[in-house]
Amino acid sequence: MSTAPALPRTANFPGRWRALTVSQLAAFMALLDVSIVNVALPSIERGLDVQAGSAQWVVSGYALAFGLALVPAGRLGDAFGRRRMFMIALAAFVVTSTLTGAAPTIDLLIAARLLQGFAGGMLIPQNSGLIQELFEGSERGRAFGVLGATVGLATATGPVVGGLIITLVSGPEAWRWVFYVNVPIGVLALVLAAKFLPTGAGGRGRVHLDLAGSLLLGAGVLSLLLPLVDAESHGFAHDWWLFVAAGLLLTAFAWWEVRTVRRGREPVLDPRLVHTRGYAAGSLIGMVYFVGFTGIWLVLALFFQDGLGYSPLRSGLAVTPFALGVAASAAVAGRLVNRLGRVLTVTGLVATTVGLALTALLLRHHGGDNAVWVVAVPLLLAGLGGGLVTSPNITLSLENVPVRMAGAAGGALQTAQRVGGAIGTAVLATIFYRILTSSDHNYATTVSDTILCASALMLVALAIATADLIHDRRR
């Protein structure tokens, strides 16, 4: 195997696009595992003879650990080298995927998924940090466009890939291959990363790691996410006090980080990022967008499978137009973001809102086999809009962030999205089930009203993006 190339002092690393391809392969795998398991839950319940509430933690535990790891892992990449952290996280992801697939009991399965989530959360911030390190100018926008396409595609295609694996393997042990499939892909990514990722990316010798800040942030994020991922089993009333604890812990974290900067030491997440042009608005837009975006897939899966009797694979294929739209527009948006800026985000949110609203109205009146074809065009429109949101928003949020903070800033941006996704899944699932009960199990009305609620959340994100655009124009 050839020695990994060294990173030059400038960002004009000749193998940067090959390095990006390798990093996106690993990122796609880690992000896919957020949603791929949803369709495997019935198989897990049957295979391990467990209740739905226990099996749900296979999904929730991964999301929880993933969100906890993002910011500290990004900071470690800034400090000790992004290539080093990328390789460690990727190797850990391969090992934990093997352990997850081989788990003999539900308790060991959940424990392995927690470890897998930590590994995935360690991996993702290195991607945005590497892009900041390796690319400049318009090329950076194109690279973030690829990252945006990866995020959107991984989230949207998870149900399709999961359904395909369950269908091809079949049998009571089919669910194990949803995790085992990561092993050959991860090993290939490790080999390619060792060859193509540059040495010297990130890493500044001995630094202050801000352990107290990391603990406060981790405890705050945990207190915020735990009641959200547990909402389907116990509702929000059961763990309401954790929201209060989250507010206090995150307030203490913000105070501690300001104090750390004033003392001349390096924080885990620099509070000066709030004043970095585009970062605060981009983080808020991303969080609100993911509140509406992530929960839609659960709602549509419930409608197609429980309401219309579709198989997991057919249910996943029904939302393929959205994934295709994201893939097409995200790559194009990466090339245009330096010229059009926040206009792309605003345009994308308009298209997504209109596409989802049309989907909701059409599903109210069309069911059965026709439902897939009737909503194909509006879902494609929503997907085209989604690609214009995710990709440019990542670029605009991080383009003015100093490279030395890139990992932590990217991790915090992803944390905002994960928090938004957890809120969206919990809130939209709650809305879905309450409308279903009150409408005497009318699935058409239920899915329509729930998706309209998601459209309303997109309008909130649109208002934030429009305000940021106006503010930018005035500047």
CATH no. for residue 299? 1.20.1250.20
The pLDDT value recorded for residue 236 is 65
**Residue 6: phi, psi to the nearest 5?**
-85, 150
Residue 5 lies in a domain: no
How many angstroms separate the CA atoms of 307 and 215, rounded? 44
The pLDDT value recorded for residue 9 is 43
273 lies in the same domain as 134: yes
Residue 420 lies in a domain: yes
How many angstroms separate the CA atoms of 357 and 23, rounded? 35
Residue 11 lies in a domain: no
- Below-70 pLDDT ranges, the chain: 1-13, 52-53, 156, 200-209, 229-237, 475
How many angstroms separate the CA atoms of 469 and 475, rounded? 10
How many angstroms separate the CA atoms of 82 and 86, rounded? 6
448 lies in the same domain as 332: yes
252 lies in the same domain as 353: no
Last residue of a domain, one of 221, 252, 267: 267
Q: Summarize pLDDT for 25-35 with one digit per residue, the tens.
A: 999 998 888 77
Contact 34, 65 (CB under 8 A): no
Q: Summarize pLDDT for 401-420 with one digit per residue, the tens.
A: 777 777 777 778 877 887 78
258 lies in the same domain as 324: no
377 lies in the same domain as 449: yes
335 lies in the same domain as 275: yes
Tokens of 52: 């739905």
DSSP assignment string, 52-63: HHHHHHHHHHHH
Tokens of 107: 């308790």
The pLDDT value recorded for residue 10 is 43
Overall domain count for the chain:
2
Map tokens 């905002």 to a residue: 416
Q: Summarize pLDDT for 433-455 with one digit per residue, the tens.
A: 889 888 888 888 999 999 999 99
384 lies in the same domain as 321: yes
pTM, two decimal places: 0.79
* Residue among 406, 330, 332 nearest 81 (CA): 406
351 lies in the same domain as 217: no
How many angstroms separate the CA atoms of 297 and 161, rounded? 14
Residues 6+ apart with CB under 8 A from 470: none
458 lies in the same domain as 412: yes
In sequence order, the β-bridge partners of residue 199 are: 6
Residue 7 lies in a domain: no
The pLDDT value recorded for residue 11 is 53
Residue 151 lies in a domain: yes
The pLDDT value recorded for residue 98 is 96
Range of the domain at 288: 16-209+268-474
Map tokens 């290539």 to a residue: 83
The pLDDT value recorded for residue 157 is 76
Residue 335 lies in a domain: yes
183 lies in the same domain as 250: no
The pLDDT value recorded for residue 129 is 82
Residue 412 lies in a domain: yes
251 lies in the same domain as 275: no
